[in-house]
Structure 1
Amino acid sequence: MKSTPPSRLSGSDVIAGLSVALVLIPQSMAYAELAGLPPHHGLYAAGFPLIAAAFLASSPYLQTGPVALTGLLTLGALLPLAPSGTAEYAKLAALLALVVGVARLLIGMLKAGWVVYLMSHSMMTGFLSAAAILIVSSQIPGALGGVAPLQLGVLPRAWHGLTHPESWEIASIALTFITIGTIVIAARIHPLVPGVLIASLMGLGFSLVTGYTGSTVGEIPSGFSTLSIDLPWDMLPALIFPGLVISVIGFAEGVSISRVLASEDRQHWDADREFLSKGMANVVAAVTGGLPVGGSLSRTSLNRLAGAQSRWSGLVTGIAVMVFLPIAPMLSALPRAVLSGIVIAAIWKLVRPQDIIHIAKTSVPQGMVAFVTFLGTLVMAPHIDRAILLGVAMSAAVHLWRELTPTVVSSREGDQLIVDLSGVLWFGSAAALENQLFEQLADEPDVNKVVLRCSGLGRIDFSGANVLHEMVDHAERANIELTIEDVPDHALRLLSAVGLL
């Protein structure tokens, strides 16, 4: 029997929430940079939005905040509209967060959480692997200590950085590798070891002690962000489509783990409530100078391992970040190479071309969906929302193609043809079934009786029932006895209505 997660704050929630905050503070800054924003906007998105999300959340573990995939989608949506890092760009990010928030609130209120299942596994596999490549590539210039023109695009910027060794900084490269190594080793020691925090403190200490001259985070405003709705409303139409994409893709990527954890713990989980929770978080992020936020896989896992018992652990995390904001300027000397290392360490494992190959070996059409989405995401960057639309369209086309042709397995017993049907018999596939059957009868003129077994049909609609009736009539005129057996219970009324039963 499934249980309901605890509703009261416990000591375990406090410990778990603080543990996540230690990781979230440097991570949020890194993901803000990935989104093209100054790092302190990541801190703004990790405070009040988490507090708001906690009051509506369904999962006791799911941690909200800046995440890599949403950061990449934000970058792709805003780069064509304004130069990254500018005040105009930051206001556009806040407006985009508002669009994402309103969309998720509407989905939750309409109880339309099922929309996340419109993204097929094949499409998401191809997209996530390509998105991971783009995210890692976006960090290469910073990891090398060089500067590449933003107008080049994600992959060209990475190539520019790799092919201009004269701009490399040994200290930046060393910091990047040390950061990645620290995070990886810490995770192997124990998942609760805060590798991100340790790497950040090491990088900050190195910068302060040695007088590091490479690129650093720079000035961070002290104190809380101010509430504001002074947003570029005239740009709203340009943000509606990318906002809708982020609202669904960002949700599907983040909450998958909470659904799995709820199943393992035999607890109730409500996708519609999570949409409301993440929607409210984004609305709050919009008015507090943040950026679009979502559910984090890594921080959710950490939250559970640290002993979280209720959704209030997220509240504790948000409060901890708010308490930190007045002293956030102490991180101004943090090398940007460390932030690049944090992002790379979190994402590189998601580059999994072997998954696409496995899908292709299992199903060629689904493999094509995965591969085209993968390639489209890389080619269309930074407009990866278009690649998602392409992947959804291909998934729908493959499904429609499958549904247009019902599976027909036939065998002979003397002058009798036994036909076992499976699939869906609807107006789109009914004609194909009729053509297949009468083509076979034309090839086997000695058949005098046909038995259609319908137990394998998942659904028969009115058009399909009419085609079955027409097939019986056509068979009679050809002096063939056609009988229908094993009709599914749901189709008995339809077949009776058209005069077959």
Structure 2
Amino acid sequence: MLKRFLPIFDWLPNYKKEYLTGDISAGLTVGIMLIPQGMAYAMIAGLPPVFGLYAALIPQMIYAILGTSRQLAVGPVAMDSLLVASGLGALSLSGIDEYIAMAIFLALFMGSIQLLLGVMRMGFLVNFLSKPVISGFTSAAAIIIGLSQLKHLLGTDIERSNQIHILLQNALRTIDQTNLYTLGIGVTAIFLLKGLKKINKKIPAALLIVSLGIVGAYFFKIDLVGVKIVAEVPSGLPSFGVPSIDFSRIDELLPIALTLALIAFMEAISVSKAVEVKHREYEVNANQELIALGTSNIVGAFFQSYPTTGGFSRTAVNDQSGAKTGIAAFVSVLVVGLTLLFLTPLFYYLPNAILAAIIMVAVFGLIDVKYPKRLFKNRKDEFVLLIATFIITLIVGIKEGILLGVLFSLLLMVYRTSKPHLAILGKIRGANYFKNINRFEKDAEIDPRVLIIRFDSQLYFGNKDYFKNELSKLLNSKIVQPEAIIIKAEPINYIDSSAVFMLENLVEEFREKNIKILFSDVIGPVRDIIQKSELVDKIGREHFFVNTLEAYDYALNNTPKNNLQEKISLQSKEGTYVT
């Protein structure tokens, strides 16, 4: 029971000495990555850079104790930082102090939602974020995040916006104010970051560029020619404090917190599942992940952390560097903690343009071009869904993009289930198989006395009329009316009350025309529904068959069922059959 609620007790007692080298190496690498990344991501969120380091401390420790993934690197990420900025930027706030307070409270609010969802075992909600929606949203958000750093790359005062057309208009208005020194530093940093990655991915490129930038800025005094630098970074660990805001603003924060909670969970669970494939010694549990991420954000908020989640790039580096357990996370925390205690003065001369370059290189790598191309070739409907999500996110807004994307994907799912595939089956010559006559035109034989259909979906209020209309069309298209209709029901996994009522009427209607309706291959849960709804009495117990061949023989030759066939065809959940 303890292992279930505190997964650290699952791996810590079995810790092996050979894990230590990989954990320390990975922890040092991720900790070093976190320093420039955390500061850069805090800038995306509209917060002072030091808050990115605060967000890299407590949440990591809590997740290492409660999380089920042993490689997931929790901390500030670009996507959540942008959502914080877009959400809080739309509110009327009095100044930076209130903005900081709202960002910290947002971590508490978001974490509480995640914890509640985890306790209620609602981890399945992430399944509603389909791959096309995620891809379209991520690519659009990456573009907005990258372009939001133009103000730091150009050294101009560009008004913030999460709508691409407005952001570009604002950038063009100030293009004549570009500081060429700032632009030169930023562009050079981008090329160096890309170049070092191509040479060797293990090189801590971001930290190296940051170090070069600080040294160059210090010796050449570039702040005197208008290049903006980070300036003073407060030293020391974050202090304990209870997050508090004016409670009248709770309703304003709710949609932001809910969006953050789901997006952050989606990011973390997708990357942790991807890494899990390489490690058979543990299994990621979605509900426990919600609890771990929620608790991480709640506790982190009491130590000045803004919303965090598992990061794609840092988790990949953590895994590649040899992390085996949560010890790697504790090592990363130690690196960031020592930096806050002793090394913050070193970041005084760090140019903002270098942090902007780090962000741009990181997020533009999230733009996916291959997947949309594949969808365009094979799945046009899902390609349209991806593009719609992409455009809405770019033009309307971040929250609107993901929410409308999910809505569109649900509508697409409903549309598909409202008009599912319906096949006419024929008996394959020389065999006992029944296959779609459109696919086996030369091999399938059709007896005009029997119509065999297969409905590839559940039967519910959304498609019951479609089912009835399609069946009527088939009958109207035949010169000679069949004596029996066999419904091969294996793909039907559910029948709701509306569909039951439709079937009752259908049976009565066809009985008046002397057409029998027979059911074959009915699965257990549907047999239970048919029994409980008393539909079995309307259809007739003798009209249910174990397989299509038995129903076919009955329709043509009136072959009776034996006791075993009777039992299996009408077996109920309780282990008895309808008598």
Q: TM-score range by the shorter chain?
A: over 0.9
Equivalent of 2:513 in 478, 484, 490: 478
Q: Distance in 2 between matches of 1:62 and 1:304?
A: 8
1:148: which partner in 2?
A: 158
In the TM superposition, residue 155 of structure 1 has moved relative to its aligned partner by 4.5
CA contact (8 A) 2:108 2:243 kept: no
1:380 equivalenced with 2:392 (yes/no) = no
**8 Å Cα contact 2:44/2:148 also seen in 1:** yes
Q: Percent identity of the aligned residues?
A: 28
In structure 2, runs of 5+ residues without a counterpart are 1-6, 425-436, 438-445, 542-579
Q: Is the 8 A contact 2:157 2:174 kept in 1?
A: no
Cα offset, 1:151, TM superposition: 6.3
1:419 shift after superposition: 1.5
Letter in 1 for 2:234: P
Deviating 4+ runs (over 4 angstroms): 82-85, 151-155
User: Which residue of 1 is the match for residue 292 of structure 2?
Assistant: 277
Q: What's the counterpart of residue 343 of structure 1?
A: 359
Question: Residue 183 of structure 1: which of 180, 190, 193 is its match?
Answer: 193
**Pairwise CA distance, 1:152:** 8.7
The match for 1:226 among 239, 242, 248 is: 239
Where 2:36 maps in the other structure, the secondary structure is helix
Q: Residues 292-345 of structure 1, C-alpha deviation per residue, up to 9 Å, x if partnerless?
A: 111001101111111111012112211221111022132021001001100111
Q: Which moved more, 1:454-463 or 1:30-39?
A: 454-463
Contact kept, 8 Å, 1:146 with 1:168, in 2: the verdict is yes
Query: Displacement, 1:212?
Result: 1.1
How large is the RMSD of aligned CA atoms in angstroms? 2.3
How far off its partner does 1:249 sit?
Answer: 0.7
Question: Which residue is 1:417 aligned to?
Answer: 451
Take 1:83 and 1:265, find their aligned partners in 2: how far apart are those partners? Answer: 46
Give the CA deviation at 1:175.
2.0
Corresponding position of 1:446: 480
Tell me the residue number matched to 2:65. Answer: 55
Using the TM superposition, give the Cα deviation of residue 83 of structure 1 relative to its aligned residue in structure 2, in angstroms. Answer: 5.6
Q: State the secondary structure of the residue aligned to 2:491.
A: strand
Tell me the amino acid that sits aligned with residue 198 of structure 1: L
For 1:396, the equivalent position in structure 2 comes to 410
Secondary structure of residue in 1 paired with 2:74: strand
CA distance in 1, matches of 2:528, 2:163: 59
What does residue 366 of structure 1 align with?
382
Aligned partner letter, 1:88 = E
Q: Which residue of 1 aligns with 2:565?
A: none
- 1:241 matched to 2:276? The reply is no
Give the Cα separation in 2 of the matches to 1:137 and 1:125.
18
Q: Please state whether the residue corresponding to 1:289 is helix, strand or coil.
A: coil
Displacement after TM superposition at 1:35 (Å): 0.7
CA distance in 2 between counterparts of 1:39 and 1:439 reads 67
What secondary structure does 1:228 align onto? coil
Deviation at 1:111, TM superposition (A): 2.2
What SS does structure 1 have at the residue aligned with 2:403? helix
Residues 488 and 152 from structure 1, CA distance in 2 versus in 1: closer, same or farther, beyond 3 angstroms? Answer: closer
**Whole-Å separation in 2 of the counterparts to 1:414 and 1:151:** 67
Task: State the Cα distance separating 1:162 from its structure 2 match.
Answer: 4.6
SS in 2 for 1:418: strand
Is the contact between residue 6 and residue 309 of structure 1 (CA under 8 Å) also seen in structure 2? no
Q: Is contact 2:493-2:526 (8 Å) kept?
A: no
Equivalenced residues, count? 497
Question: Are the counterparts in 1 of residues 73 and 318 from structure 2 also a CA contact under 8 Å?
Answer: yes
Aligned to 1:124: 134
The residue aligned with 1:167 is 177
How has the CA–CA distance of structure 1 residues 151 and 431 changed in structure 2, closer, same or farther, with 3 Å as cutoff? closer
CA contact (8 A) 2:148 2:160 kept: no
TM-score relative to the length of structure 1: 0.93
- 2-side partners of 1:152 and 1:452: how far apart? 53
Describe the SS at the equivalent of 1:460. Answer: coil
* TM-score under structure 2 length normalisation: 0.81
Q: Which has the larger radius of gyration?
A: 2
Task: Give the whole-Å Cα distance in 1 for the aligned partners of 2:104 and 2:405.
Answer: 27
1:89-128 alignment runs, 5 A limit = 89-128=99-138
- What is the letter of the counterpart of residue 375 of structure 2? I
After the TM superposition, which residues 264-303 of structure 1 pair with which residues of structure 2 at under 5 Å, given as runs?
Answer: 264-266=278-280, 267-303=282-318
**Map of 1:60-79 to 2, 5 A cutoff?**
60-79=70-89
What is the distance in 2 between the residues matched to 1:494 and 1:192? Answer: 58
When residues 10 and 480 of structure 1 are mapped into structure 2, their CA distance, relative to the original with a 3 A threshold, is: same
Query: Relative contact order (C-alpha < 8 Å, sep 6+): which is higher?
Result: 1
CA distance in 2, matches of 1:186, 1:152: 31
